[in-house]
A and B are shown apart, each in its own frame.
Chain A
Amino acid sequence: MTQEPLLELRNLTTVFPTRRGEVRAVESVNLSLAPGEVLGLVGESGCGKSTVLLSIMRLIRRPGHIAEGEIRFQGRDLRALSEGEMRRVRGREIAMIFQDPLSTLNPAFRVGDQIRESLRLHHIVDGRWPWPLDMGARRREKERVIQLMEEVGIPSPDARYKAYPHEFSGGMQQRALIAIALACEPRLILADEPTTALDVTIQAQILDLMKRINERRGTGIILVTHDLGVAAEFCHRIAVMYAGRIVEMGSVDEVIESPQHPYTQGLLDCIPRLGRERQPLSPIPGNVPDLATLPPGCSFAPRCPLARPVCESGPIPMVRLARDRRSRCLRHVDFAREQGWTWGTEYEISNQ
C-alpha cells in the first residue's frame, strides 16, 4: 500500500460544548483509507463513530465543532475548504448513508426525485439549457435515476420512481438511500450503521449490495457498525473505537484472530463464533464512560479485566506493533520498553 491514501485523518478531535462540560466525542483520531478499501469502524453506542463520519463531511451541528486535526481527502485538507467548495465535495466525492432509512428519506418528496436531486445538485447530467427548460437533460436524468434504482435492486423502478418513502419497505428505503449515495459515483461512501434498522435477511442483502459496489467501482467505504461480526465479514481493515479514541487497528484477520486490546477481546467474546458456539455470550461488564468527564488514564480501565493502578495515571500511547497494526494499551508499552523500541511522535511507539 504505497499509493496515496484516499482519506487520511490526522489527530481529528471533535467536541460538543454542553452544560455538563465539553464532550470530547472524537479525540485525536488517526486513520487512513486506501482507494477501494473497506474500513470497519467498530464500537459500542456513543463512542463517537457517527461523529467521526459527520466530521469528515463537516456536518457537525453547532455548537459542536472540529477542534483540531486534519482531514486529508485525495491530498486536500477538507477543513481548509470554503463552505461552497465543501458542498461540491459532499454527495459528489464523498457520500453518506445513514442508519434509519425511513427518517432519512424526506417524507414529502417522491423517492425518484430525491435520487434525482443528487444528480441535479452536482450537474451530473449536463444539458445545454438552464435546467427547467432542458427537456433532454431532464429525460436523461430520469433515465439515470431509473438505472440507479435498478442497480441497487429496486424492482420495477419505472413504477417506483413516483412512490413516496412510506410506500417502500425498510430494505427498499435503504436501497433508495444507497442509490442516492451512488448517484454521483463518489470515491468514498461513509455508511453509518446502514443495516442496524433492518432485519437479518435484508441486512445481508444490503451488505452484499455494498460489497458489490465496492468491488465493481472501487469505491472506498467506511462502515460504521457496533457489530464486529458484520465488520469481520465485510471489511478489509478494522478500527475499534472506545470513548472517542481508536484503541485498536489492523487488518480484519489480525484483529479478529489475535485481538491485542482488552476491549477488542471483550467485544469478540460477545459474538458467537464458529468452533466455539457453545460458549455463552459474555457482554463486557460495566458501561461506556461519560465523555464529558473522562479520567486522565485509560478510559477502559474501569471495565478492563487486566487493569492495573498505573493504567489510570496518565494518557496511554498508541503502540504500533507491526506495519498497520496498532493498539492502545499499557501492556504494549511495557512490551515495547522490553524490546527497546523508540518513542515516536504523537504518543506513538513503534519499532521502526
Chain B
Amino acid sequence: MRAIKVLERILATIPIMFGVAIMVFIFMRLTPGDPVDIMMGAGGAVGAGEIEQLRAEFHLDEPIHIQLWYFLRDAARGDLGNSYIKKRPTMELIAERLPATIELALGALFFALIIAFPIGILSAVKQNSWLDRFSMAGAFLGISMPAFWLGIVLILIFSVKLRWLPVQGRISYDVNLQEITGLYVVDSILTRNWPALKDALRHLILPSIALGAAVAAIVARVLRSSMLETLRADYVTLARAKGAPEHRVVLRHALRNALIPTVTVIGLQVGVLLGGNMIVETVFGWPGLGRLVVDAIFNRDFPLVQASVMVYAFTFVIANLIVDILYTYLNPKITL
C-alpha cells in the first residue's frame, strides 16, 4: 500500500518538473541578454557568420514556441541538452555537482538538528529560565544573521586566525578518495579511508554551520513552542499520573507529539538548504550545484538552467516526500 503511494508521489513529480522547466524556459528567453553575445564577448572578435552559425546550432533563430517544442521533445526522451558554454550534457554537469550540494545540505541539517533539539526541548522544559532566554536570544540572532557574513566570520576565526579548519573546498588535493556516491563522507566510510573521512569532515564543518545556523534557530523556536504546548497536554499529566519518570514524560510523551509540527518546518527548511546555498557555496568555494546555476544564469546558458531547475524541483519534492512519510509515522491520524 505504502509503496504504491510512494511510487505515485514520485511519478507525480514529473509534471511538476516539466511545469517549472517550461516556466524557466520562457522567463529566461524573455529577460534581456543573449547567450551567443555573452559567449562571443568572452572570445573576442568573431565574424557575423560564426554568430549565425551558433544561433542556428542552438535553435535560437527560431520562434520561441518552436524552441519549446524541441526542448519538450528532447526532454521526453530523457535528453536535457548540452550546456552552451561547456558543450557537455547538462545532466553530466549536474551529476558532478549535485552530490556536493546534497552533502552540504545534509551536513547543515545535521548541525541544525543537533543544536536545535537539545535547545528547543530544554528551553521549553525550563521556560523563562536564563537558559531559555539566552537560547531564544541566540535563535533570534541566528535567524537575523546573513549566512555569508557568518561564513566569513567563521573562516576568519577558525581558518585564518586559529588555523583549525580549512578555508575552502570539499577535500584537500593530496587526499585520495575513490568516489562511489559522490558524498565524500559516505564514500570515505564505505572505502574505510579514515584520513579522507577526517579531511572531508574538516572541510564540511564551517560551511555546514554557516548554512545551518538559521535552520537551527528556526527549528529550535518551533520545537520550543510545540513542546510548551504538548507539555501542558492532558496526556502528559496522565503520563506523570502513571508514574513515568520526568525524562520519559518529556522525551516520549511530549516530544513525540511536538515533533509533528516540527517535522513540517524541517521539511520546508530542507528545501532552503538544497536550493538556497549559492552564497555559502561561493564563500567556501564549495563545488556544488548552486554556483553552477548562478554561473549558468549569468551566461544565459539556457539548457543548463532548465535542467538544474528540474533537478531542484525533483530533490525538493523527494525531500518533502520523505518528510510526509515520516509524518505518517509520527501522526497516526494521517495516511499518505
Contacts and interface: CB of A to CB of B under 8 A. Distances in A.
Nearest to A119: B242
Interface in A101-135: 103-109, 117-118, 121-122
Contact of A96 (B238, B253, B331): B238
Nearest to A122: B243
Contacts of A121: 242-244
Given A98-B234, A103-B234, A106-B253, A117 B244 contact: yes
B191 interface: no
Contacts of A90: 240-243
Nearest to B239: A106
A88 B242 CA distance: 9
Contacts of A98: 234, 237-238
A166 interface: yes
Given A90-B240, A118-B242, A121-B244, A104 B333 contact: no
Give the dominant DSSP class at B's interface.
helix
A234 interface: no
Given A107-B333, A108-B331, A87 B245 contact: yes
Chain A, interface residues (CB within 8 Å), range = 20 to 34
B240 A105 contact: no
B332 A107 contact: yes
Contacts of A57: 240-241
A117 B242 CA distance: 8
Contacts of A108: 256-257, 330-332
B242 A180 contact: yes
Interface string A74-92: 0000000000000111111
Contacts of A96: 238, 241
Nearest to B331: A108
B235 A106 contact: yes
Contacts of A106: 235, 238-239, 253, 256-257
Contacts of B244: 87, 91, 117, 121
B240 A107 contact: no
A121 B246 CA distance: 12
Nearest to B244: A121
Contacts of A166: 332-333
Interface of A: 54, 57, 59, 87-92, 95-96, 98, 100, 103-109, 117-118, 121-122, 164, 166, 177, 180
Given A59-B237, A104-B235, A166-B333, 4 more contacts: A91-B243, A104-B234, A107-B235, A107-B332
Q: What are the 3 tightest A-B residue pairs by CB atom distance, in nearest-first order?
A: A91-B243, A91-B242, A90-B243
30 contacts: A57-B240, A59-B237, A59-B240, A59-B241, A87-B243, A88-B243, A89-B243, A90-B240, A92-B243, A98-B237, A103-B233, A104-B234, A104-B235, A104-B238, A105-B235, A105-B238, A106-B238, A106-B253, A106-B257, A107-B257, A107-B332, A108-B256, A108-B330, A108-B331, A118-B243, A121-B242, A122-B243, A164-B332, A166-B333, A180-B242
